[in-house]
Structure 1
Amino acid sequence: MSKRDKSIAPFPANPDRRQLLRRAGAGVAGAALGGLLTPLAPFAASAAHAQGANNRLRIGFQKYGNFVVLKARGTLEKRLAGQGVSVQWLEFPAGPQLLEGLNAGAVDVGSVGETPPIFAQAGGVDFVYIGNEPPAPHGEAIVVAQDSPIRTVAQLRGKKVALNKGSNVHFLLVKALQQAGLAYTDIQPVYLTPADARAAFVQGSVDAWVIWDPYLAAIERQANARTLANGDGLVRNTQYYVAARKFASAQPQALHALLDEVNDVDTWARDNVAQVASQLSPLVGLDASILEVALKRTGYGVQPITDATLAYQQQIADAFSALKLIPGKLTVVDARWKS
């Protein structure tokens, strides 16, 4: 590892997290959608046992965000205990892998970006949108090394661009390339999870990285990465709450309770960014100052799914269908929750 590599501290390793992800099959290549919707065989027995169980809410979360704060507060557990429902938290590295868990029946509800649900629905995952956060277009970006000769998105022609396939930043890359007059085939996409993409970016194995907060804030601060384009004027970067359709039908009261508690966390977090950053810091493994940057670019306040929201998701689906990154035509409204 070079001196430059040593100066950049990645998220700390977590043996329990790694064990979970190995079980979940994260990163395993799948034939249908490039590994995004690979069946999770090790979960099969427990998932089958859990089908139809109405006394447990299994929440898929990522190593950052309001679900982490909610988990630490424990208020959801107390609220649902009155309904006879327990809460289980399962950590995933990104939205596509989380939706693999939902597809396998190991997760009931989760929080993901705007693109993972499109790939999941295209792959036959039976879920519904149950809510969303306000847009946060500055919370994701295409970055290059500070000393890179690349100054514009148009100069990515023929270059290696790292991203997590099917994640929220995938649509940002598509839109940025279109605005720059490039086709998706004009670049060399390199599909990597955030941890692997970070390593490739730091080592110079890729020319650019498309990434979201807090990874974005970390690489900006720790490696002085330079932004070519963020979501402003291109994409919304909306965070969605999704649930397995069967669970949503059987336990709507548990989901309403979850959304209420998340909204309470949002209301408090919006006015206490520094305190939230301090709480998240030891859990995420990043300095509070870095997390403050990311949190200030976040949208706060749970919103109901609207026609306009689904129309925006349809635009994303149509874009990926046209690029043949998902099979056939997708009707996003089919995944609307009728609570």
Structure 2
Amino acid sequence: MKRSRFEYSLPKNFIANAPANPRDHSRLLVLDRVTASIQHKHFYDLSDIVSSTDVLVMNNTKVFPARVFGKRTTGGAVEVLFLKELENNIWEILGKNLPKIGEQIIFSNFYAKVIKKGLHTAKIRVFTGGKRLLDLLILEGKTPIPPYITAKLPEKSLRAKYQTVYAGVVGSVAAPTAGLHFTRKLLAKLKQKGVMMQYVTLHVGPGTFSPIKETDITKHKMHSEYYSVSKETVRALNNAKKHSKRIVAVGTTTARVLETISKNKKLSGNTDIFIYPEYKFNFVDALITNFHLPHSTLLALVSAFVSKPNTNEDFTDFKSSLIGKAYQEAIRKEYRFYSFGDAMLIA
């Protein structure tokens, strides 16, 4: 399957640099996969659109201020993105011009020693004087944001805006953006209606921004991310499925978790599931998602969701597909795209 089949053109002024305010005032394109009908709503209409028997599944991961500036012992500047803790005080980082193995990186409130090095990644041991690294990162770290967001938002504002209101489990360097549209008021309305809400965790890594570079997308090496789901959540979801309730995945990260556990039956681990057209969804019945970049794994996932064997539509290329036509309609209606942009409900 060729990479060129996942192309579309987007004027740069359609890329959102800040979220809607309030969050749930973003627009919502509702796409029916069976009838091919499109409705234009706002996200706050979601409580009127979903059924009381639906189950919303959300990713409760929390973005941490992982971008930190430090110095080599020689005085040279180093910019580091903390990715994940591998073991006690041992972290995987991403960066350019990283010091050699055995050399140190000096930060404002702690320092680190490089113990293993790749091309752009390294494994470091951090020395924090007995303090928790995450507490120190809150003091001096910056929130990592996608490169296409060019507006310079104040850090305090960015930390609030680039975080879901239900975030709880620290570990992501990128937000699960479909969840950014929810407000506490909207969640309360959904709960009052009787909509069941369940949570999974997938810590989003920088690979989510990596475009597919292989000419044949099936040769693309998918990034691996940690996920976990509680026994209680699995029990509730299986019971909902047994009673034919609709499982609505909030975001592609949630969809990937649900599809992973439907296959491997493991409550936690690392997933590198890559979903593209011809994939059969086993668990997800509807999907809330943002508008994604050309040539991205996320665009491949939504393309799969709206084509055979999940619908009656053949997938030849994105532009001529039902999902591609929905994107063109969104562009015609001047929707806002990508992380801080508007949303879709694909049912």
- TM interval, short-chain normalised: under 0.3
* TM-score (norm. length: structure 2): 0.27
Report which of the two has the higher share of helix.
Answer: 1
When Rg is computed on C-alpha atoms for both structures, the one with the higher figure is: 2
* TM-score (norm. length: structure 1): 0.27
